[in-house]
Amino acid sequence: MTSSPTAGTLVSSVPYAAPAAIEGTASLLLHTMPSLHGGETHASALLFVPHGTPPADGWPVVVWVHGTTSVGHKLAAPSLSPDLDGGLTADGFPSGYAELIAALVAAGYAVVAPDLEGLGEAASVPYPYYNAASTARSVIAGLQAAHQTQTPLSAHWALVGHSDGGRGALSVEPYASHVPDLSLRGVVAYAPFTSMRESVAALGTLALHDPANATNYAAVQNNLVLMMALALRAQRPDADLEPLLGRDLQAMIPAYQSQGIFKSVVGLMQHVGTVKPENFAGFRPDWHSDPNMQAFLTANDPAEMPDLVLNIPTLIVQGAKDEFVLEPLTTALATRLKDAGSAVTYQVYPDATHGSIVQEATPDVLKFLDSRLH
């Protein structure tokens, strides 16, 4: 393959012990990729391949992009957890990721599941959380590495992501041209983790109308701003976080950088509840006005990208009862994309939460993939 700004080179491929529900072979790939921090770095990806005889042109490929597992802990990687979710299920948030991969393999797709840059045993650089360019490079490099194995793979591929992976999936299209011999045929975003500025504001409004749960809303607000602050810091180590975070929220940084996200969020909620929101020195009300944060959100949050148009057919699925990604904001994003001429299909599931959307929407996702890859 020709070299490109997102080129990945396969270094090794070893067998991987996949969950029993996945009826296929699995390999752990070690490959190179260009790092957001400059130069080249090593990364890892899982490759799942169905049993049986491949189609004449090879197995069609689905690249799977996981949601937030951590904002800085390299061992919170899908390849290092039995549920393929970086510890989400083990920590109390059943992700359904292994079941989704099993369904994709059973439907006849080879699945490439990257550990994003900075995650996994091979990682030697900080994890650039919530970074569109880094996610796209991880996707493309993992895909290229899979094509350098002995596995017969089709040139046609699709991209599927959940939560932060769904957010990342909406940003990969501009990078697909870096691999002109491969054809991105479709994109699926489950509950994309977008609209950070609007989410924090909306949670404040919800707290005013639901004072009994105001502490929980305040904790989630603080969680979102802290995640964005650490994402900014990972991209720009010199960034000053003082305009974003108060003293108590800054004190939570070591926990967020040393463990999985679910434990971090639970710890933050308990702390805010103990201190009480009005006494907790948390996020600054004008956090999004900081010039560094403004630039970061404009570059990485699809809701803030001024000229985002999706030309490749894209399916966005969203749960109306999602407790982390608010349905009205995803609906507003999908509407804006459609109005701009994007090839977007949008579907809301009335009873789905942030976790259950993976299971509830998968039958429709499989139909969409079939229409794009066969």
Are the CB atoms for 154 and 164 separated by under 8 Å?
A: no
Distance from C-alpha of 262 to C-alpha of 268, rounded to nearest angstrom: 10
- pLDDT tens, residue by residue, 163-190: 999 999 999 999 998 899 999 999 999 9
Asked if residue 354 has pLDDT above 90, the reply is: yes
User: Quick one: tokens of 230?
Assistant: 């650490």
Q: Which two tokens stand for residue 102?
A: 């099993």
pLDDT, tens digit (0-9, with 9 covering 90-100), for 193-244 = 999 999 999 999 999 999 999 999 999 999 999 999 999 999 999 999 999 9
pLDDT band at 338 (very low <50, low <70, confident <90, very high): very high
If you average pLDDT over residues 232-260, what whole number do you get? 95
What pLDDT digit, counting tens, does each position of 260-305 carry? 999 999 999 999 989 888 899 999 999 999 999 999 999 999 999 9
pLDDT tens sequence across 230-243: 999 999 999 999 99
Q: Break the chain into its structural domains and give their ranges.
A: 10-194+306-373, 196-299
- Is residue 358 classed exposed, middle or buried when 0-12, 13-18 and 19+ CB atoms within 10 A define those classes? buried
| Predicted pLDDT at 8 | 87
pLDDT for 1 equals 36
- Examine the pLDDT at 350 and tell me if it is beyond 80: yes
Digit-coded pLDDT (tens) for 37-72? 899 999 999 999 999 999 999 999 999 999 999 999
pLDDT band for position 3 (50/70/90)?
A: very low
Q: Identify the pLDDT of residue 6.
A: 58
Please list, residue by residue across 158-187, b when 16 or more beta carbons sit within 10 angstroms of its beta carbon and e when fewer do.
bbbbbbbbbbbbbbbbebbebbeebebbbb
Give residue-wise pLDDT tens across range 80-139: 999 999 999 999 999 999 999 999 999 999 999 999 999 999 999 999 999 999 999 999
Q: Which residues of 276-300 are buried (b: 16+ CB within 10 A; e: fewer)?
A: ebeebebbbeebbebebbeebbeeb
Q: Which pLDDT does position 2 carry in this prediction?
A: 38
Domain 10-194+306-373 sits in CATH 3.40.50.1000: no
